[in-house]
Amino acid sequence: MSSISVTRIQRELKDIKSECSGQNIKIELYNDEYTNLRGEIVGPPETPYHGGVFKLIIKIPESYPFNPPKVSFETKIWHPNISSVTGAICLDILKDQWAAALTLRTVLLSLQALLSDAEPDDPQDAVVARQFKENKRAFLKTAKFWAQHYAHAPGPVDKDCVEKLKKATEMGFFKDVSLEALSKYSWNLETAIQHLTN
């Protein structure tokens, strides 16, 4: 670990403590070596993610800040630019548009902005992106249900979703797998079950 990356992370963590109390983001060390961090962002208002707490895995490469940190979602999320399976993120500043003056704070703020403004034309999860474009209502319903189910977002839960998920789990399928299938087939119970049995 080069010393510049360590001193910079120390510096950033100090600044985040003094600045980000009101910004709904949080970053803390995961180990003592400044290579592994955990972040948290709160879903922004007027989105299906509103109020959900999304945990992030942040890995700092040795060449930080000259190369971007590796960030992925630990909390499952239904979003066109985030893999619903692995949590991998498609965001330009985490790839070729990274600049050394960006910080973990600005990355987390960008991710919050990404939750508000999806880019379905540059998707990470093709299934979610197609649903976003072709069936926006189903997308919003699914994204909100996922936020409530995995990220503890507040608000009344969609009864239709709960019922269908219950039916699928009663048939002996795991909850996560059932939710994934139902989400993929826009809450059409029959096709989801058909997919699960195959």
Partner 1 sequence: MEPSTDQPGTSHSTTNPISDGSGENNGQFECNICLDTAKDAVISYCGHLFCWPCLHQWLETKPNRQECPVCKAGIGKDKVVPLYGRGSTNNQDPREKLPPRPQAQRPEAENRNPGFPGLNFGDGSFQMSFGIGAFPFGFFGTLFNINDGRPRPPPFGGAQYQDEQMLSRVFLWVAVILMFWLFFL
Residues in contact with partner 1 by CB under 8 A are 4, 7-8, 11-12, 14-15, 18-19, 63, 65-67, 99-103, 105-106
The token pair at 82 is 């985030």
Distances (CA, A) of 50 to 115, 139, 146, 150, 176: 9, 15, 11, 13, 21
Q: How far apart are CA 26 and CA 21, in angstroms?
A: 8
Determine contact, residues 37/27, Cβ cutoff 8 Å: yes
* Closest distance of CB 155 from partner 1, Å: 32
- The 3-state DSSP class for residue 98 equals coil
Given the residues 41, 42, 82, 90, select the one marked as catalytic. 90
* Closest distance of CB 124 from partner 1, Å: 23
- Is 161 in the active site? no
Q: Which is nearer to partner 1, 67 or 194 (CB)?
A: 67
* Closest distance of CB 82 from partner 1, Å: 24
The token pair at 37 is 């961090």
Q: How far apart are CA 189 and CA 111, in angstroms?
A: 32
Q: Which is nearer to partner 1, 14 or 166 (CB)?
A: 14
> 130, exposed or middle or buried, with CB in 10 Å at 0-12, 13-18, 19+?
middle
First to last CA, the chain: 48
* Closest distance of CB 39 from partner 1, Å: 16
Q: Which is nearer to partner 1, 2 or 194 (CB)?
A: 2
Q: Which is nearer to partner 1, 111 or 161 (CB)?
A: 111
What amino acid positions are annotated as catalytic residues?
A: 90
